[in-house]
Every structure is written in C-alpha cells, then in structure tokens.
Amino acid sequence: MLPLDHIRVLDLSRLAPGPHCTMLLADMGADVIRIEEPGGGRRAVMERDAQDDGARQREERRAAYNALNRNKRSITLNLKHPDARQAFFDLVQSADVVVEGYRPGVVERLGVDYKTLAVINPRIICCSISGYGQEGPYRLLVGHDINYIALGGALGITGARDGAPAIPGNIIGDYGGGGMHAALAICIAIIARERTGRGQNIDLAMTDGVLTLMAAAISESYGGAEPVRRGGHRLTGLNPYYSVYRCKDGKYISVGANEVWFYENLCRALGGEQYAGDHGATGERREEVRAFLADRFNTRTRDDWFAYLKDKDVCAAPVYDVEELPDDPQIRARGMIVDVPHPTLGNVQQVGLSIKLSETPGAIRTLPAARGQHTRELLQEAGWDGDRIAALRAAGGTE
C-alpha cells in the first residue's frame, strides 16, 4: 500500500514548481496525470526545430533522467478545443486534485478554473502555483526563481559581505517556496476535505513560500537583534567557524561549529588550541582565527580533512559537486541516488525519496512517460469509445 494511492491528480503545470509538487505526490502513490499540449507547445516546437539526430538522442536521455516526471501518466489535450476541454472535465469527475502553474487569469480564460471545476466535482482541490500569487499589485508580473528569492529577502542575505548577492540555484523559490509548499498545501486540503466533504482552492505564491522559509531570519531581524545581513550574521559568514574553506586540492570543506564546544573541538583538532577561547572574538582577533583556519585547511585535500574530522565531534562536511553525490556512503546508505532500469539506456540514476515512512513508504515505480503515452488509456477510463477518441484526434484536440 502506498499512502496516496487513493488520490488522483491532474497536472496542468509545466515548469519546475508544479512538476516538483506532483513528483512528491506521485512518489507517495498518487495517480498523477500530466495534461500536456499536443506537439508539446511552442517551447517544444522551437526546441525540436533546432535539433539534429544527436540532439534528439540527448533529449531522450535527458527526459529519461528527469525525476520530475517519474511515476506519472501522460495525456495530450488542447484545452482551447471544446471537445478536449470536455475530456478534461470528464477526467475531473474522478479526480481529487488539479495543479496548475499558469499566470493568474489563464485558467479562467480556458474555462478550467476552480469555480467551474467545483460544479463538476465539489470535492476537487485546485492548486494554483504562481510567482506572486493570484492577488496583489505584482500578480501579473513575469518572473523566475531569482526574482522570487530577491523579493522574499533570501537573495539579499546570501553571499559575501563585500560582494554581490550569490545566486543559490532554483532550489529555494521554485522547489522550497513552490513545489514543496504546494505538496504540503494539497495534503492539508485533502485532510480538511475528510471533515468538510468539499474541496477548495489553493493560492500558492512562490514569493510567499520564500518569506515562510525566511521566518527565523525575519523574526530575528524584527525582534530587536541586528538585522540578518549578507556576510554579516552568524549564519551568513560573519564568523570563521561557520564558513567554507578551500583545501589543498582546490575543493572546499564546510565548517559549522556555532556552539562553543564544537568550536573548541575544531580548534584542537586543527592544532589551534590557542584559539579555543576565541569563539566570541571580534575584529582583528576574529580575522586571525579565520586566517588560521584558511591556512590549516589548505594543507590537506578536502577528503583527507573530512576523513580526519568526522570522528572528532566537529561540524564539518565536504562541499560536493553534483557528480560526486553517488559516491558518498551516507547518500548511498539513505538511498538518495538510486538506479532505475530503463528499457534502452540501462540503469538511469535518479534522486531518491527524502520522505521515509516506516509502514507505507513511497516508491519510484515508473520512469517518465512519453508525451501522450496514456492518452487512449485515460480517455477510455473516462468512458470514451474508440470512435470518439479518433474524432478528437482528427479535430486536433489531442495527438
């Protein structure tokens, strides 16, 4: 038994946050159905026009490795076509959740908004994921992760004190503020539906999610302490014992000895007993500690230092590049990079499941489906016969 194997999700989303949300649900057993545009839409057409055979093979490989689309089925429907829209409505009748990531107002123009769908299925839960939300003066602004973390305050506190803000990748706004928050919101709405019998609409703004992730930093800044600043706070690089250091091989190691006892262990392990009492040092003395740590870490390779420090009760870990992840014994032991069989590519590496349940664990059941792979199957499940499916295909409502 999988914990969400009684839940059906219709996924209208395209870019990272929505597919990440529905991947999390699918990994836990939800029947996630990707509603895709026939032909893949304008972005896919431009990409295909620029591809040669080698590029198409690379695209096939990229698609197989795309964890965001695993454990899902795929149907193509042109929602601007009335018959295709009716097919979508027929799927809604047996669905629990609809996820979309359009700009605000698009689902209303397509006629697939929550008010419309709730008439068809009062138990439906609709989750709209957008950059700035469905309300407010910025609701129609275009954006990407970098913009959401900028407005939400996360970008401003990331990086060196005297440098520009450091871009952390799209893991904060798109995945943390967006995908994970959306999956949580959907699960909460499902629990609420058990009590009320009705679905509801979820307005999920990635910028709101970023602000939620910033709760501790915001609370500390507004609560009378010094505001959290880039490179000027205990968690953003102010102190030498919470930082990264370059090692002899050019790789980096992270140190997080915030507590006094961990700091003292670090100093002793590195032969710097004279600095063990300087946890609260400021000014020149603090910079002297920083210089000592930098010099010491530069005498050995990153992996040598980690092997030496990991049994010294010191908060330290290697800074990995992504290609190094599968070789780490802890990541392997936790099943966080796994091999999944593919019919032509052999084993495909995918990120594993971070949510580990003792009684009803999730699973990677299938690799990503080809666009429209389950169109006929899903329409038949919705009660369509072969003639009706063929007519829809002929009219351009599917492919």
Assigned token pair, 259: 């507590």
Last residue of a domain, one of 298, 327, 356: 327
Q: Are 176 and 197 in the same domain?
A: yes
Q: Which of 268, 300, 327 is the last residue of a domain?
A: 327
Provide the pLDDT for residue 60: 82
What pLDDT digit, counting tens, does each position of 198-210 carry? 999 999 999 999 9
164/26 same-domain check: yes
Residue 86 placed within a domain: yes
Residues 48 and 109 in one domain: yes
Strand partners, 119: none
Q: Kindly state whether residue 292 falls inside one of the protein's structural domains.
A: yes
Are 125 and 150 in a shared domain? yes
Last residue of one domain, picked from the residues 300, 327, 354: 327
Q: What's the total number of domains in the chain?
A: 2
**Res 368 pLDDT > 60:** yes
39 and 134, same domain (yes or no): yes
The domain containing residue 264 runs over which residues? 242-327
Q: Spell out the residues 6+ positions from residue 384 whose beta carbon is closer than 8 angstroms to its own.
A: 87, 90, 392
pLDDT (tens digit, 9 = 90+) per residue, 177-206?
999 999 999 999 999 999 999 999 999 999
pLDDT at residue 347 is higher than 80: yes
State the pLDDT at residue 99: 98
Each residue's pLDDT tens digit, 282-331: 999 999 999 999 999 999 999 999 999 999 999 999 999 999 999 999 99
Domain harbouring 157, CATH code: 3.40.50.10540
Minimum mean pLDDT range among 15-24, 57-66, 170-179, 184-193: 57-66
- What would the pLDDT profile of 375-387 be if each residue is shown by its tens digit? 999 999 999 999 9
- Label residue 226 by pLDDT band (50, 70, 90): confident
pLDDT (average), residues 153-168: 96
Domain co-membership, 32 together with 111: yes
Residue 1 domain-assigned (yes or no): no
What is the spatial distance between Cα 263 and Cα 290, in angstroms, rounded to a whole number?
A: 12
pLDDT beyond 60 at 46: no
Task: Determine, yes or no, domain membership for 219.
Answer: no
- Six token digits for residue 130: 């957008």
318/358 same-domain check: no
264, 340: one domain: no
For residue 297, what is the domain's CATH number? 3.30.1540.10
Catalytic positions are 144, 174
* CA dihedral (78, 81, 85, 87) positive or negative: negative
Please check whether residue 284 lies inside any domain of the structure: yes
> Does the pLDDT at position 366 exceed 70?
yes
User: pTM for this structure?
Assistant: 0.94
pLDDT value of position 59: 85
Q: So what's the pLDDT on residue 155?
A: 98
Share of the chain above pLDDT 70, in %: 97
Q: Does the pLDDT of residue 41 top 90, yes or no? A: no
User: What mean pLDDT, rounded, does the chain reach?
Assistant: 95
Which candidate, 122, 71, 74, places its Cα nearest to that of 96? Answer: 122
pLDDT of residue 47: 52
Predicted pLDDT at 176: 97
Residue 352 forms part of a structural domain = yes
Residue 268 has pLDDT above 90, yes or no: yes
Let me know: does 30 contact 51? Beta carbons within 8 Å.
no
Residue 211 — pLDDT band, cuts 50, 70, 90?
A: very high
Q: Average pLDDT, stretch 155-161?
A: 96
Same domain, residue pair 150 and 83: yes
Shared-domain flag, residues 322 and 338: no
Residue 56: pLDDT band with limits 50, 70, 90? confident
50 pLDDT tier (thresholds 50, 70, 90)? low
Give the residue-averaged pLDDT of 126-150. Answer: 98
